[in-house]
Chain A
């Protein structure tokens, strides 16, 4: 009888705690720097535990303290669930309690990394529109079954409704990873790896490796200076890394509409399962680069608090779709939002307004080159190559803005608003419900004021402060279209 009571208590204790694997993440990251030499010593002493304890007792005490502290944190952090809410007790001694009512949840996600899969654990993220919490409202590492149970409770999967599923083709996902691989973030990681390599292997080995790679490339491009080859190596490596990461993240991408919910599943390395509620989708954004526009392809992203907000994630619901299919896809996934056609659009007359700034930037390149040649006369060939490389994005921007001058506009219907605009190199078509517009603004520079033009800035309900700017519209028409739609700027 006593045993039964005890086992019930133990089970109750574990039911309200996170998966024990979480203890490892509560330890200090530098613990491994202490642990590895300790194990090394133990092996060197041929498992003579006594002399090992005598020589390394300070390190052992430190590690025990770190582990003990992590264990205590794990014990104190717990959660409670009832039919309508979940409460998580976090902070030191579990003193900070966060209660989230299921009706306020905007997104609930379960992400299972490959290491977590080995131990049967899953990270559960619960997000709401409460702006007082900048990160995820509740984040728990739970046994997979428990996480699934909570996910079912929040999303009320008992609801009977027809399921509509959109699955991305594998070659579309390849194209998506190709277009959306961020060279910059990849370069940072790749450069980090290169930098850290010297710590793991010998510095000389790292230099020899790089020299070999650069030497092989220079055989084909003998006239290119070594420094440019190094920069190219880092950029290409970074891009490839980002490409591979994107591919792994969005492989097996599939989105299902079930009643009022959108369920998104994707990933190979980390299995992702995000559930968001249609009522909480702030807007959808059809995004294209110039290449995608030429090939009549696009990506559909959504803004919903909690979805796609973690590092390197893209909040997409259709990674790649064609212009012909996008309407059908959206009708299937978000049937309530009806996209109007833009009624106020820019055209031929506005071309100069769109391209003059990129043209000025392009003209600055030779001037800056000349200055650098005067200051560093020994680096002329490197400066020439760099100035050529930097003029390429400027020319590309001029071309993009030229196209943007025909594809910028705004339009309304009874419930929704559409904004067509171009931000840097990306074209956006943003569709938002009128009731979700929180701020509208008319902006005029001195030049625009003289010409009678303006830019419209729209903010929607969102997790972050994000503005959408439609540039170079005639002032009178812009004011009138906003006023007739209840935005009396």
Chain B
């Protein structure tokens, strides 16, 4: 059983992204408040509160809760913010794997692995590139091995 955690770099990237978005929205609201209506001050307040809520509660909770484990027989994913979720998938059910590697993912940690089975899916989020490659190889090896034994039976 191999355990993986979401990458810290991804957490920093999301903090940065939320901060930039918050600043952009606040400047737009400030512009609106000065030239259009006073109501934009309230919108700005809402944006600031929401951003801090995301940065101080949602992101830390998500990154501390999320764990992924991979063994020869099963895949387990523990994640959740408001609803805590423990997912289990048999390795024999896996039909394909989609690796989503974003540009500069080495620095940002924004790598995702989508594991597809017939009728269901499991997503491993914010993996380091090495973890992503390792899991992909591991799943690939297990699937290939199965195919091999199937052929042997024939």
Q: How far is the CA of A437 from the CA of B89 in the complex (A)?
A: 9
Complex interface: chain A residues within 8 A of B90 (CB): 437-438
The proximity string for B residues 119-154 relative to A, scoring 1 for CB distances below 8 Å and 0 otherwise, is 111100000000000000000000000000000000
Q: Is B86 an interface residue (CB 8 A)?
A: yes
The proximity string for A residues 438-474 relative to B, scoring 1 for CB distances below 8 Å and 0 otherwise, is 1111111110010000000001111111110000000
Assess whether A439 is in contact with B87, with CB atoms less than 8 Å apart: yes
Q: Is B117 an interface residue (CB 8 A)?
A: yes
- Measured between C-beta atoms, what is the minimum distance from A446 to chain B in Å? 7
The B-contacting residues of A in range 258-274, CB under 8 angstroms, are none
Q: How far is the CA of A372 from the CA of B86 in the complex (A)?
A: 42
Complex interface: chain A residues within 8 A of B121 (CB): 439, 465
* Contact (A443, B119) CB under 8 Å given A438-B89, A438-B90: no
Assess whether A439 is in contact with B122, with CB atoms less than 8 Å apart: yes
Q: Which residue of chain A has the shortest Cβ distance to B120 in the bound complex?
A: A459
Assess whether B85 is in contact with A462, with CB atoms less than 8 Å apart: no
Q: Is B84 an interface residue (CB 8 A)?
A: yes
Q: How far is the CA of A298 from the CA of B80 in the complex (A)?
A: 37
Assess whether B83 is in contact with A439, with CB atoms less than 8 Å apart: no
Chain A interfacial residues counted at CB < 8 A: 27
* Contact (A282, B119) CB under 8 Å given A131-B95, A439-B93, A488-B74: yes
- Measured between C-beta atoms, what is the minimum distance from B32 to chain A in Å? 25
The proximity string for A residues 164-179 relative to B, scoring 1 for CB distances below 8 Å and 0 otherwise, is 0000000000000000
Q: How far is the CA of A489 from the CA of B89 in the complex (A)?
A: 9
Complex interface: chain B residues within 8 A of A384 (CB): none
Complex interface: chain B residues within 8 A of A387 (CB): none
Q: Is A383 an interface residue (CB 8 A)?
A: no
Pick from A437, A444, A464: contact of B83, CB below 8 A: A444
* Contact (A442, B86) CB under 8 Å given A465-B121, A466-B119: yes
Task: Among B84, B87, B88, find the residue whose CB has the most chain A CB atoms closer than 10 A.
Answer: B88
Q: How far is the CA of A234 from the CA of B88 in the complex (A)?
A: 46
Assess whether A438 is in contact with B119, with CB atoms less than 8 Å apart: yes
Assess whether A463 is in contact with B88, with CB atoms less than 8 Å apart: no
Q: How far is the CA of A442 from the CA of B118 in the complex (A)?
A: 20
Assess whether B119 is in contact with A459, with CB atoms less than 8 Å apart: yes
Q: Is A487 an interface residue (CB 8 A)?
A: yes
Assess whether B86 is in contact with A461, with CB atoms less than 8 Å apart: no
Q: Is B82 an interface residue (CB 8 A)?
A: yes
The B-contacting residues of A in range 96-129, CB under 8 angstroms, are 129
Q: How far is the CA of A467 from the CA of B84 in the complex (A)?
A: 16
Assess whether A465 is in contact with B119, with CB atoms less than 8 Å apart: yes
Assess whether A460 is in contact with B119, with CB atoms less than 8 Å apart: yes
Q: Which residue of chain B has the shortest Cβ distance to A458 in the bound complex?
A: B120
CB within 8 Å of B: which residues of A?
Answer: 129, 131, 282, 437-446, 449, 459-467, 482, 487-489
Q: List 7 A-B contacts (CB under 8 A).
A: A131-B116, A438-B89, A439-B120, A444-B80, A460-B119, A465-B119, A488-B88
